[in-house]
């Protein structure tokens, strides 16, 4: 009789252990996780918030406090939801900083992407390499090719007799009057994919689409004009920011001492010049 009671007690104890294990396992799998690339970028509200190695559950490890990340634009990589609770996996310049409670972040009023400026005139003098310099700036937002020289990006670019297939002309010399040396979005996108598989040809993108790309943390390489002045020749630049009624443009055709290498222009002026250049654009995602 005592043996039977003891056996029943052991069985009950093992059963409780199994229930506990199942409950613990369930607590780590109740989040629904999906891509966050369709979400607008966020900024962390204050320094004290913690980032975790996974959406918070018992046993999750703190990766770091927000600290100097507070107030900086962060891209949303993934979103995890459990009931009314949500966590965002955040990155900046391609580096994953971890998961943070959705209540710790907010939408900014001004989106300025974390780019690194590149000039096509200094230190490498390549007056017809605006596409390569603009691409390098766009890639820098994702932390890609930051240690790759502009000269390398220029020299690896496909060359052809027509811009529909590759870059036409010598990027290291001045153009002759009436000559346009360039590469169009289709071959430029194909080349960009050697650095970023998600590079996409968005030629024809509307103002709403361009704003959406920037808000989601994606720089856009586009056809425009120097200083975005309609009367200037064909030129390629990088779209790196947006706020109400204005786009932030990084112009690679600038020397070291020239001011306003990166400047705000009205969305109206931007779209006028952009459309006059056949709305050519690619985005780095």
Distance CA(204)–CA(25), nearest Å, equals 48
Q: What is the pLDDT of residue 29?
A: 59
Q: What is the pLDDT of residues 238-263, one digit of tens each?
A: 999 999 999 999 999 999 889 999 99
- Percent helix, strand, coil in the chain, to 5, is 30, 30, 45
Q: What is the pLDDT of residues 184-201, one digit of tens each?
A: 999 999 999 999 999 999
Query: Domain 112-284 carries which CATH code?
Result: 3.90.70.10
Residues lower than pLDDT 50 in the chain: 1-28
Q: Which of 285, 213, 224, 217 is nearest to 251 (CA)?
A: 224
Max CA separation in the chain (angstroms): 106
Q: What is the pLDDT of residue 178?
A: 78
All structural domains of the chain with their residue ranges: 31-108, 112-284
Distance CA(247)–CA(218), nearest Å, equals 13
Q: What is the pLDDT of residue 177?
A: 83
Neighbours of 155 (CB within 10 A): 13
Query: Domain 31-108 carries which CATH code?
Result: 2.30.30.170
Q: Do domains 31-108 and 112-284 have the same CATH topology?
A: no
Q: In sequence order, which ranges of the chain are alpha helices (DSSP H)?
A: 2-27, 130-140, 150-156, 185-192, 207-215, 267-276
Inter-axis angle of helices 207-215 and 267-276, nearest 10: 110
């Amino acid at each position: 009789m005592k043996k039977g009671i003891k056996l029943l007690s052991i069985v009950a104890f093992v059963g409780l252990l199994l229930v506990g294990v199942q409950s613990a396992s369930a607590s780590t799998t109740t989040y629904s996780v999906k891509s966050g690339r369709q979400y607008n970028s966020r900024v962390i509200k204050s320094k004290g918030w913690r980032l975790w190695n996974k959406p918070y559950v018992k046993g999750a490890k703190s990766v770091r406090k927000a600290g100097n990340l507070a107030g900086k634009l962060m891209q949303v990589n993934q979103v995890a939801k459990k009931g009314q609770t949500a966590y965002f996996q955040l990155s900046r310049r391609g580096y994953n900083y971890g998961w943070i409670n959705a209540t710790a972040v907010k939408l900014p009023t001004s989106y300025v992407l974390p780019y690194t400026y590149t000039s096509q005139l200094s230190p490498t003098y390549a007056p017809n390499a605006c596409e390569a310099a603009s691409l390098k700036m766009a890639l820098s937002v994702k932390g890609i090719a930051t240690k790759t020289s502009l000269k390398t990006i220029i020299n690896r670019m496909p060359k052809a007799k027509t811009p529909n297939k590759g870059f036409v002309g010598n990027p290291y010399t001045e153009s002759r009057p009436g000559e346009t040396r360039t590469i169009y979005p289709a071959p430029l996108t194909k080349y960009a994919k050697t650095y970023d598989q998600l590079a996409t040809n968005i030629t024809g993108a509307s103002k709403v689409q361009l704003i959406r790309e920037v808000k989601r943390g994606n720089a856009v390489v586009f056809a425009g004009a120097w200083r975005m002045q309609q009367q200037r020749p064909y030129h390629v630049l990088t779209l790196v920011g947006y706020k109400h009624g204005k786009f932030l443009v990084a112009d690679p055709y600038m020397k070291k001492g020239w001011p306003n290498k990166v400047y705000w222009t009205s969305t109206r002026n931007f779209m006028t010049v952009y459309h006059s250049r056949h709305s050519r654009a690619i985005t780095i995602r």
